[in-house]
């Protein structure tokens, strides 16, 4: 049912009497026009249509409609963060990431059953409401003609959204421009006092990002209205408090900012500090955010509103977009594959790195299916302090797997996690990173095993041990000896048990870096001319470069490759000069295994290192890796019991309090 009425502007008190705001329609600032597709869609309404006829017993084939190209947007049409003008004769849709209403999430996780869309317009035109189902089929719900200053309301049910689907609306202008003055999605009920939030940012030598985010938050006081404290946990040597512009933003935050200086305890140490402080100061929620992000301030309000209305205490996180390609979504949600114990996508239809510029919400069917997750990344994640008191703080594992393990642990205690569409940050992408090579490989390997020992449903961890051994072999035949050494160090520390995890936090990274300084494959030069010019003693066979083995020949091919690397001496010339320059994109184990030496670019493109084959190191590390993995597999049940027994203690507020006291210096700002 819809109603369009000419009304006087309602006061805030009148709005709050019976209807509370769930989600406001927002627009990008005029300096962020590259993000317009996330807020406004000027293309045609499209979707997936299921045929009405078909052969009984045979699955109906989806038919995708084709969209017309989007029209140009004009900066001058964006009147404010909440208002825009639609030019005469044109149509715009708010069926977009930030402005469509994710109905299936509200139906599944909150106490809300029915909603109201309120749209305030000035001018002549139409307001048309649509919905979708979990298959991405688009359906017209209602429409109303508007003329003059009008508030149109549409009462809508959430009942049909069991598996997925969104609501949104389009505006069609008449012979003159139609102005959207404001719109919001509401639910019936008395206004309630929102929960209180401690917003915590963990940082390490990213002062420019921090100052920018603090300034952005200070310019959006509504986003901070329920924030009790904004805590910056500074673990770096370049202190944010010493950065240019800090005094200005600190003053603008009106006493809410507090800086805690502590040693580098990694992300788990910084975020655990935020959880700890939220519990200590009596907040209802801890909102954790990374430092190298740009936040959409409205996301803070949306996370809090959703969290307050959840049926049970729920971890609610935002999505991550690429900071340097701002319409690209990292992932719509993540689970942990229980057999491989690796991050995975919940549905085979989903894709990583979806670009809304190429295919917007109405054109992408898998975005309409509700995505249920195991965890949310801590680039932006709101955790109720009730959950923290029951579950504990993060594992003391420095970086990697702390957020995933926490989500799995919370679920075991009956607390779900939701990745909420319409709440997001822009984060530095991992496209130009390779954290499986180098110092981070230690934390990847060790922490994946710790999480699997705690949560794997398989007696011996499923595929995780065997797959880890394969990784070691690939690194070693690729001449990545420093990485392999770090992974072996990880297994040794893992086998030593959980009791040392807190003590390893401040010193493990310097130890790994010192070890890696002794390997040429982890020593980088920014100038490519620092290395001798490459030369091959023999030309490629038949003029072809190295080709990957086929699946049928992979195992015998790999066995021959390892045997050759163990027995064949390294050519003298390859010790004096590399045989090739290899771009990072071509740094694949099956290619690198065919060289005696090569200069390889890093993922960031800022330098290169010289890989050199060493049969002695290969032999020693292969044997060590095989021994450690065999011991891990043999002792898995025993180790699993040890880590599970220690979990409550090592993640407790008391244990972390002791660690914080030994490694921090608190100062108020």
Q: Residue 12's Cα: distance from chain center in Å?
A: 35
Q: Quick one: which of 574, 504, 583, 479 has its CA closest to 535? A: 574
Q: How far is CA 124 from CA 17, 148, 154, 266, 404, in A?
A: 29, 6, 18, 56, 50
- 629 Cβ neighbours under 8 A, 6+ residues apart: 465, 468, 469, 472, 491
Q: Which residues of the chain have a pLDDT value below 70?
A: 1-17, 44-70, 540-544, 666-669
- d(C-alpha 195, C-alpha 206), whole Å: 30
DSSP tag of 67: P
- d(C-alpha 78, C-alpha 76), whole Å: 5
* Residues 547-561 as b or e (16 or more Cβ within 10 Å = b): eeeeeeeeeeebeeb
pLDDT of 48 reads 55
- d(C-alpha 49, C-alpha 35), whole Å: 28
Q: Quick one: which of 478, 436, 490, 472 has its CA closest to 603? A: 436
What does DSSP say about strands 178-188 and 167-173: parallel, antiparallel, or unpaired? Answer: unpaired
pLDDT of 578 reads 95
The pair phi, psi for residue 533, each rounded to 5°, is -65, 140
User: H helices of 62-111, where?
Assistant: 103-109
The H-or-E segment that residue 319 falls in is strand 315-322
Tokens of 206: 């990213």
Give yes or no: 403 in active site: yes
- Would you tell me how many other CB atoms lie within 10 Å of the CB of residue 352? 12
* pLDDT, tens digit (0-9, with 9 covering 90-100), for 419-447: 999 999 999 887 777 888 999 999 999 99
For residues 379 and 329, is the Cβ–Cβ distance under 8 A?
Answer: no
Residues in the chain: 669
For residues 77 and 173, is the Cβ–Cβ distance under 8 A?
Answer: no
- d(C-alpha 149, C-alpha 324), whole Å: 40
- Would you tell me how many other CB atoms lie within 10 Å of the CB of residue 399? 18
Q: Quick one: which of 132, 43, 130 has its CA closest to 91? A: 43
- d(C-alpha 169, C-alpha 140), whole Å: 9
Q: Spot the catalytic one: 234, 308, 403, 596.
A: 403
The H-or-E segment that residue 367 falls in is none
- 72 Cβ neighbours under 8 A, 6+ residues apart: 42
The pair phi, psi for residue 141, each rounded to 5°, is -105, -50
For residues 103 and 165, is the Cβ–Cβ distance under 8 A?
Answer: yes
- Would you tell me how many other CB atoms lie within 10 Å of the CB of residue 225? 12
Task: Give residue for tokens 């959207």.
Answer: 180
């Amino acid at each position: 049912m819809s109603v369009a009425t000419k009304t006087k502007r309602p006061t805030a008190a009148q709005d709050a009497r019976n209807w509370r705001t769930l989600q406001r329609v927002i627009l990008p600032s005029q300096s962020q026009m590259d993000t317009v597709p996330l807020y406004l869609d000027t293309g045609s309404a499209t979707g997936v249509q299921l045929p009405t006829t078909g052969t009984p017993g045979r699955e109906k084939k989806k038919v995708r409609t084709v969209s017309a190209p989007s029209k140009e947007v004009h900066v001058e049409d964006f009147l404010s963060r909440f208002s825009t003008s639609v030019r005469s004769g044109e149509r715009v849709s708010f069926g977009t990431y930030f402005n469509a209403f994710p109905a299936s999430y509200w139906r599944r996780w909150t106490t809300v059953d029915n909603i109201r869309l309120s749209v305030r317009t000035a001018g002549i035109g139409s307001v048309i409401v649509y919905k979708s189902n979990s298959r991405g089929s688009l359906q017209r719900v209602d429409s109303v003609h508007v003329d003059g200053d009008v508030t149109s309301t549409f009462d809508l049910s959430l009942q049909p959204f069991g598996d997925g689907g969104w609501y949104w609306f389009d505006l069609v202008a008449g012979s003159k421009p139609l102005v959207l003055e404001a719109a919001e999605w509401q639910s019936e009920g008395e206004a309630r006092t929102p929960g209180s939030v401690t917003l915590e940012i963990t940082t390490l030598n990213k002062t420019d990002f921090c100052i920018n985010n603090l300034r952005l938050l200070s310019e959006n006081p509504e986003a901070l209205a329920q924030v009790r404290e904004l805590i910056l946990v500074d673990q770096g040597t370049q202190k944010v408090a010493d950065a240019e512009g800090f005094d200005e933003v600190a003053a603008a935050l009106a006493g809410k900012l507090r800086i805690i200086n502590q040693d580098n305890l990694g992300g788990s140490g910084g975020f655990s500090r935020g959880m700890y402080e939220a519990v200590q100061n009596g907040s209802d929620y801890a909102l954790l955010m990374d430092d190298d992000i740009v936040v959409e301030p409205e996301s803070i309000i949306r996370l809090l509103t959703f969290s307050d209305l959840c049926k049970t205490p729920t971890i609610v996180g935002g999505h991550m977009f690429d900071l340097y390609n701002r319409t690209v979504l990292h992932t719509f949600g993540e689970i942990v594959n229980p057999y491989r114990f690796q991050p995975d996508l919940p549905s085979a239809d989903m894709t990583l790195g979806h670009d809304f510029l190429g295919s917007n919400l109405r054109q992408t069917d898998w975005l309409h299916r509700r995505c249920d997750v195991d965890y949310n990344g801590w680039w932006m994640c709101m955790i109720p302090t009730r959950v923290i008191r029951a579950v504990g703080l993060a594992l003391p594992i420095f970086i990697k797997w702390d957020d995933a393990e926490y989500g799995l642990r919370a679920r075991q205690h009956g607390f779900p996690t939701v990745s909420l569409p319409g709440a997001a940050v822009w984060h530095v992408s991992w496209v130009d990173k390779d954290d499986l090579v180098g110092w981070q490989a230690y934390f990847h390997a060790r922490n994946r095993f710790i999480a699997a020992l705690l949560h794997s449903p398989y007696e011996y961890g499923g595929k995780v041990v065997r797959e880890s051994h394969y990784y070691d072999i690939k690194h070693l035949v690729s001449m990545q000896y420093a990485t392999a050494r770090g992974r072996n160090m990880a297994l040794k520390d893992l086998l030593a048990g959980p009791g040392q995890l807190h003590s390893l936090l401040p010193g493990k990274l310097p130890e790994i870096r010192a070890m890696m300084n002794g390997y040429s494959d982890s020593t980088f030069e920014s100038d490519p001319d620092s290395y001798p010019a490459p030369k091959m003693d023999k030309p490629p066979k038949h003029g072809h470069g190295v080709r990957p083995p086929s699946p049928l020949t992979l195992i015998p091919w790999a066995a021959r490759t390892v045997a050759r690397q163990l027995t064949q001496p390294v050519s003298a010339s390859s010790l004096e000069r590399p045989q090739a320059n290899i771009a990072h994109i071509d740094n694949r184990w099956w290619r690198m295994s065919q060289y005696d030496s090569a200069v390889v670019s890093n993922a960031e493109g800022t330098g290169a290192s010289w890989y050199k084959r060493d049969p002695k190191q290969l032999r020693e590390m292969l044997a060590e890796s095989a021994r450690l993995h065999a011991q891990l597999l043999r002792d898995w049940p025993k180790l699993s019991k040890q880590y599970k027994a220690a979990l409550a203690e090592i993640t407790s507020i008391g244990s972390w309090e002791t660690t914080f006291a030994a490694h921090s210096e608190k100062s108020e700002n």
